[in-house]
Structure 1
Amino acid sequence: MQNTNPIPERLKAARKKAKITQKDLGVKIGMEPSSASGRMNHYEKGRHVPDISTLKRMAEELGVPLNYFFCEDQLSAELACVIEKMSEEEKKRLLFELARK
């Protein structure tokens, strides 16, 4: 288990997968264009941690669930994304199947 904050790594990975620049992401979530790149860089380097409302806007813009940013390993992060895309019925079936084991 890592003792480091997983947010910077997850943020950078999701942004790169979405093929968006730091500045563009910052602007899309409401940051001033002149400071967006620098602020996003600080988040990705772990110098600053975004507040929860900023993190929610980032998640929405990047198409990942909020809990993706808190996953400590890549497999858990990918699972969070897959589960988010499932219908409620699919989630219930999955939970039911796993509970039976």
Structure 2
Amino acid sequence: MWTLCNDIRSFIITGYQRMSAAQSSVFGTRLKEARLEAGLSQKQLGIEAGLDPFVASTRINRYELGIHKVDYALAGRLATVLRLPVAFFYAEDPELARLIQIFGRLPKRKKADILSHARTLEVGA
């Protein structure tokens, strides 16, 4: 009985860890894409986002690999450094991620134009 309980507990914990890793992998993939596009090293990004310089590179590496989850406050600081909306990091669809990235960098007037055009497309669909 003791062995069965341990096996079940191990199975549940392993499943949870896999699920958490899958959720973190989208964030990690987007973080790495944005960091490379910005031309920043892992250490530079971490330091600019307010991480301790001694662990900045390791922490960013673990976020990119999906080993550790990023809390929302840090996600916001990373987004600010990379000039991106936080939503970019959580977009599973690569095309949606790209749209969020482009839209987030546009001036307000152009955003309004795009939203107006998108509404027109939606009505016509």
* Shorter-normalised TM range: 0.7 to 0.9
Matched, 1:19 2:39: yes
Where do 4+ consecutive residues of structure 1 move more than 4 Å? none
Name whichever of 86-95 and 31-40 sits farther off: 86-95
Structure 2: segments with no counterpart, 5+ residues: 1-18
Match in the other structure for 1:60 = 80
Q: Give the CA RMSD over aligned residues.
A: 1.6
Matched, 1:38 2:53: no
- Count of residues in Structure 1 that have an aligned counterpart in Structure 2: 99
Q: Which one scores higher on RCO, CA 8 angstroms, separation ≥ 6? A: 1
AA paired with 2:101? C
With normalisation by structure 1, the TM-score equals 0.87
**Which of 1 and 2 has greater Rg?**
2
Which of 103, 107, 111 is 1:83 aligned to? 103
Match in the other structure for 2:14 = none
- 1:20: Cα distance to partner? 0.5
AA paired with 1:83? F
AA paired with 2:75? L
In percent, how many aligned pairs have the same letter? 32
AA paired with 2:65? K
**By percentage of residues, which structure has more helix?**
2
- 1:33: Cα distance to partner? 1.0
- 1:26: Cα distance to partner? 0.7
Matched, 1:94 2:114: yes
AA paired with 1:23? K
Match in the other structure for 1:10 = 30
Match in the other structure for 2:48 = 28
